[in-house]
Structure 1
C-alpha cells in the first residue's frame, strides 16, 4: 500500500501515462477479485471460464505493478514487461473462446490453433518493436496475418460454427460482443504499434497510453462478457 501511495504522490500534474498505469493496475486487481468471488455464482461447467478470466486480469495486475514502477524509475516504456504480460494473457483470452464453445463440441485442435495464432502475433510484434525496430512495418504485417487467423476462427471457423449450432441466446450475445472486442478493441494495439518511430503514425499518440487503455478495455471487458454468459446460462 505504501508503494502505491508513493507512486500516486510522484505522478506530476498532466502525467497521463503515469495516471493510466496506476488506474490500469488497480482496475485489473479489482476485476480479479470480482471474477474469483463470482465463481460460485455460476454452474460448475462455467467456473473454469471465470477462473481463466480472473487469471487474465490477475497476471495483468501483477505486471502493471512492475510496469508502473519501471515507468516511474526509468521514464520509458516497459516493453519487455508488457510483452511478457501479453504472451501469457492473450493466449488465455483465446482459450476463453474454446471454453465457451467446449460444451457444444469444440476440439483441442481448435484450441491449439488459437494459441499458436496468438503466440505468433505477439512474438513477431515483439521482434518489430524491440529487436528490429528498423523493420517495424514488415513485422507488423506478419503479426497482422496471425491476428487474421484468430479473426477467421471467430467469424467463420470452427468457433463460429459451434457457437451458431449451440442455439444458446446467451452464447450468441457473448460471441457478438467478443467479436467486437476482437475487431474494434484489439485494433487499439496495432494503432499503438504504428505510432513507433518510422511507422505510419509516428508520434501521433503516446504508445503507453494507447496500450494501457487497450488492456483495461479488452481484458476486463472480455471477462465481463464471459461472466454474463456464465450467469445467463446458469439460470436457464
Structure 2
C-alpha cells in the first residue's frame, strides 16, 4: 500500500493531524480522569472520554481519506456526529444529574431530538429531503436543546441545586453548545444556500471548531468534576 505523506503546504491535512492528536490526548486524559473524581462524576467524565475516543477514530479515517483523495465526503462527518452529538447532549444530562436527577423522559427527548437534528441536516445536505426543510428541522432541534439547558429542567436544577463550581462549569458548557455549535448550521447554510465553499476550507473550519466543541467540552467537565470532588473530600 502506497504511503500518503502530509505535504508541508497542506494546511487542511495539517488540521486533520492536529485534531487527531488533540482528540487522542483528550480521550486518554478523560479516561484517566475518571479515577480522579468522586463516584457521581465518573459517568459524565467517561462519556466525554467516549466522545473524544470516537472522534479520534473519525479523524484517523478522515485524515487518510483526505491524504488519499484530497476531499472529504460529507457522509464521514455525519457518521461521527450521529454518534458523538447525542452522547454530548446526554453528557450534559448526566453532568446535572450528579447534582439532582432530571426526569427520565427528558433523557429520551434529548436523545431523540439530537439524533433527528443530525439526520435532518444530513438528509438536507445530500438532497434526500429539501435543503430548507433539513436546515429548519436541524435549527428547531438545536433550539430545543438550548431551551432545555437554559430554561428547562436542566437549567432549573443548575440554578437551584448546583454549587458554584457546577454552575460555572455548566455556564461554559452551555456557551460551547450555544456559540461553538452555531458553526454547524452556519456552514450548512453557506454550503446549501450561499454558493458553497471549497472542501478544504470547510474542513479546516470544522476541524478547528472541534477543539472547542469536543475537546474543550470534555476538559470543562473534567475540571468541574475534579474541583467539585476535591471540595467534598
Match of 2:208 in 1: 213
CA distance in 2, matches of 1:126, 1:56: 20
1:16 equivalent to 2:19? Answer no
Larger relative CO (CA 8 A, sep 6+): 1 or 2? 2
Match of 1:39 in 2: 34
Match of 1:203 in 2: 197
Contact 2:37–2:225 (CA<8 Å) still a contact in 1? yes
Match of 1:163 in 2: 158
- Counterpart of 2:108 (choices 95, 109, 112) is 112
1:153 equivalent to 2:148? Answer yes
- TM-score using structure 1 length: 0.90
CA distance in 1, matches of 2:136, 2:94: 29
Match of 1:188 in 2: 183
CA distance in 2, matches of 1:53, 1:181: 14
Q: CA deviation at 1:204?
A: 7.9
Q: CA deviation at 1:136?
A: 2.4
Give the 3 Å change call, closer, same or farther, for CA 204–74 of structure 1 in structure 2.
closer
1:173-195, Cα deviation, whole Å (9 max, x unpaired): 01110111011111111222123
Number of corresponding residues: 228
Q: 5 Å matches for 1:35-184?
A: 35-103=30-98, 104-132=100-128, 135-184=130-179
Identify unmatched segments of 5+ residues in structure 1.
Answer: none
Contact 2:44–2:92 (CA<8 Å) still a contact in 1? no
Q: CA deviation at 1:43?
A: 0.7
Contact 2:138–2:185 (CA<8 Å) still a contact in 1? no
Secondary structure class of the residue paired with 2:193? coil
The root-mean-square deviation of aligned C-alpha atoms, in Å, is 1.9
1:6-42, Cα deviation, whole Å (9 max, x unpaired): 55xx223432211111111111001001111121111
Identify unmatched segments of 5+ residues in structure 2.
Answer: none
CA distance in 2, matches of 1:173, 1:201: 40
